[in-house]
């Protein structure tokens, strides 16, 4: 069973702090990794994609990938209350070209 | 560029009925995938269509089916509805370039309630 694991949270951080969200996956042949943000009652919104080992930065967001450890993370710098949402880690199932999602981590940014 | 659109946004049905949901992908996107989201199971892949052909299917019963039209618009159908089919149904589109799996962009979803 191919799985994507995330801590369900809630992860609570003060405004302006760095939020660190983590994800592990079981399928060693996974090639593509995505972070989506989902506000309550809304659909997932893409934040970052990452395909190679290392870091990828986009504004306040940094995705980190370590394929050897089967680990992907998302850092949110200068966290804002508007960042409060559920963050979904997704891995491409290379056999089916389908996204396999973790259960999501709920982030709460305290003003 | 307009995003993925889904209709209807909300739907209430009773057990045993069938339902059809519609999805229009982002202009130029040729792949459409469908997902089911429930509080208990999270987001689960239903199926993917490309060039009017179902290429991949998730672990759902045959009551769940879909199709894609020549303009890339897609529909999914659920027959003989069960209470457990109550969920948010999400459509995602992507632009297929070569063999890479491109980013999937989600529509707003259809909230289905089965009574």
B106/A103 CB distance under 8 A: no
Rg (CA), chain A: 13
Confidence check: pLDDT of B98 > 90? no
Minimal CA separation from B57 to chain A, in Å: 8
Fill in the DSSP letter of residue A83: G
Residue B85 bridge partners (DSSP): none
Smallest Cβ–Cβ distance between B104 and the set A99, A102, A104 belongs to A99
Average pLDDT for residues A98-111, to the nearest whole number? 94
Are A99 and B35 in contact (CB < 8 Å)?
yes
Give the pLDDT band (50/70/90) at residue A45.
very high
The beta-carbon neighbor of A44 closest among B45, B101, B106 is B106
First to last CA, chain A: 40
Of B47, B101, B110, B111, which to mutate for an interface test with A (greatest number of A Cβ within 10 Å)?
B101
Band (A94; pLDDT cuts 50, 70, 90): low
Report the mean per-residue pLDDT for chain B: 93
Taking the C-alpha atoms of residue B86 and residue A1, their distance in angstroms, rounded to an integer, is: 25
Q: Please provide residue A83's backbone torsions phi and psi, each rounded to the nearest 5 degrees.
A: -80, -10
Is the Cβ–Cβ distance between A12 and A21 less than 8 Å? no
Cβ–Cβ contact A47 with B under 8 A: no
Q: Which of A25-39, A86-100, B32-46 has the lowest mean pLDDT?
A: A86-100
Strand ranges, E, within chain A: 4-6, 11-14, 19-25, 33-38, 45-50, 54-58, 61-66, 71-76, 85-93, 98-101, 105-110
Question: Would you say residue B62 has pLDDT above 90?
Answer: yes
Residue A11, pLDDT above cutoff 90 = yes
The confidence score (pLDDT) of residue B101 equals 57
């Amino acid at each position: 069973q191919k799985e994507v694991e995330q801590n369900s949270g809630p992860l609570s951080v003060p405004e302006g702090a760095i939020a660190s969200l983590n994800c592990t996956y079981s399928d060693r042949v996974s090639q593509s990794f995505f972070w989506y943000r989902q506000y309550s009652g809304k659909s997932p919104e893409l934040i970052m994609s990452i395909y190679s080992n290392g870091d990828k930065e986009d504004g306040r967001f940094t995705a980190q990938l370590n394929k050897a450890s089967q680990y992907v993370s998302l850092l949110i710098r200068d966290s804002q209350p508007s960042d409060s949402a559920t963050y979904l880690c997704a891995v491409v199932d290379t056999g089916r070209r389908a996204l396999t999602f973790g259960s999501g981590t709920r982030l709460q940014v305290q003003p | 560029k307009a995003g993925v659109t889904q209709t209807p946004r909300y739907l209430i049905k009773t057990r045993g009925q069938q339902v059809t949901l519609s999805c229009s992908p982002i202009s130029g996107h040729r792949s459409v995938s469908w997902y089911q989201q429930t509080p208990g199971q999270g987001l689960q892949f239903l199926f993917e269509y490309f060039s009017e052909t179902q290429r991949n299917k998730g672990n759902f019963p045959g009551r769940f089916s879909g199709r894609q039209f020549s303009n890339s618009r897609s529909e999914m159908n659920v027959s003989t509805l069960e209470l457990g089919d109550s969920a948010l149904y999400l459509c995602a589109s992507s632009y297929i370039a070569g063999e890479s799996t491109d980013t999937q962009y989600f529509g707003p979803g259809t909230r289905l309630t089965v009574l």
